[in-house]
Amino acid sequence: MLDKENIFDGIHVIDGGLATEVEALGGKIDGALWSAEALEREPEKVAAVHRAYLEAGAQCLATASYQVSRMGYIEVGRTAAEADAALLKSVRVARAVVREFPQKRVLVAASLGPYGAALHNGAEYTGAYDCSYAELVRFHRERIEVLANATGDDSPDLLAFETFPSFEEARAVGEALADWPQIPAWFSFSCRDDKHIAHGEPVREVAAAVARFPQTIAIGVNCVPARFLSSLIAELKAGSDKPVLVYPNSGEGWDAERRCWTGETQATDFGAQAKEWFQQGAQIVGGCCRIRPAHIRAVAAAEKQFVVQSSQCSLHESSVKIAANKTGLA
Ligand SMILES: [Zn+2]
């Protein structure tokens, strides 16, 4: 994996939703293993989605491993070895696509969902688990160990702990990571409102605590509706000085019983919204469920505009300073 220092230099745009995009290509993601199912049977569809995001301007890909875990695999009659192999394959598939873009600097982030994502009962969005803290640590440590020992094309650039509902689970990951202080990791949380993560802890306090892990390179929120983001960015910035990462969903709801999306998308004019998030202090912006390559293209354009404007701004500031120096004010 890469050195933690400067890993995000020049990286501001991450990818969008993976599973929904694989489905849009006709891939099957409705099995218990979700996008990992496609990874196994139709890796070319996963690769096509990665490719579409790089073409749209993404500089970081999250692998198709969100729901891969030994526990989840064993529960559906598969083996721990198959789960480990799927983790590594997800990295390999992403790396192969990155190689098609030799002129671009792209990070491969191993997507690691919460314990609840392996339960298949919606608990991932509440963090209300029926398991001990020690079990949580073990669940995460198994996956971390596989990725930490990976080499070559199987090795990700960083670990992306995402859609985490509770501080307790982030703390368990911090403990599970203890043997690998050099591994870069980002922590991203799902939220119940514009100030609290899904389980109820204040975002600001969670960010402050997670920033203390030696592995933490960015802290953020994902799979939240865009309307919460202005406040969430301010809370994240108040909690720590780590780069702020946001990748919202479209604001639609998932009806688990009827297995369909409900409500209206709030991801209209996503580029204008992304520009505001950059202005408010988000360093890295992308999308989660139902955010598609066209949205990421708009984020990449917004980021370019933002960079141009802020460099004009700092040019302006320095010429003001020079003028002030000349008149003896500074
Ligand atoms: Zn999502």
In order of their start, the domains of the chain are 19-303 (3.20.20.330)
For the segment 44-62, the average pLDDT, to the nearest whole number, is: 98
Q: What is the pLDDT of residues 128-146, one digit of tens each?
A: 888 999 999 999 999 999 9
pLDDT at 85 over 70: yes
Query: What does the pLDDT read at residue 124?
Result: 76
Separation of CA 147 and ligand 1 centre (Å): 23
H or E element in which residue 186 lies: strand 185-189
Phi, psi for residue 292 in degrees, rounded to 5 = -115, 175
Distance CA 291, CA 270 (A): 9
- Ligand 1 centre to CA of 148 (Å) is 25
Burial letters for 146-182: b for 16+ Cβ neighbours within 10 Å, e otherwise? bbbebeeebbbbbbbbbbbbbbebbbbbbbbbeebee
Q: What is the mean pLDDT of the chain?
A: 91
Dump pLDDT digits (tens) for 267-322.
789 999 999 999 999 999 999 999 999 999 999 999 999 888 887 776 555 555 54
Residue 319 has what pLDDT? 53
- Of 53-62, 83-92, 248-257, minimum mean pLDDT range: 248-257
- Report CA(17)–ligand 1 centroid distance (Å): 7
Residue 21 Cα, ligand 1 centroid: separation in angstroms? Answer: 12
Query: CA nearest 167: which of 206, 194, 203?
Result: 206
Centroid of ligand 1 to alpha carbon of 250 (angstroms): 9
How far away, in angstroms, is 79 Cα from ligand 1 center? 26
Tell me which of 126 and 179 has the higher pLDDT: 179
> Does position 218 have pLDDT exceeding 70, yes or no?
yes
- In the chain, % helix, strand, coil (3-state, to 5) comes to 45, 15, 40
Residue 265 is predicted with a pLDDT of 83
Higher pLDDT, 5 or 187: 187
Whether 235 shows a pLDDT value over 60: the answer reads: yes
Better pLDDT: 321 or 221: 221
Give yes or no for residue 223 having a pLDDT over 70: yes
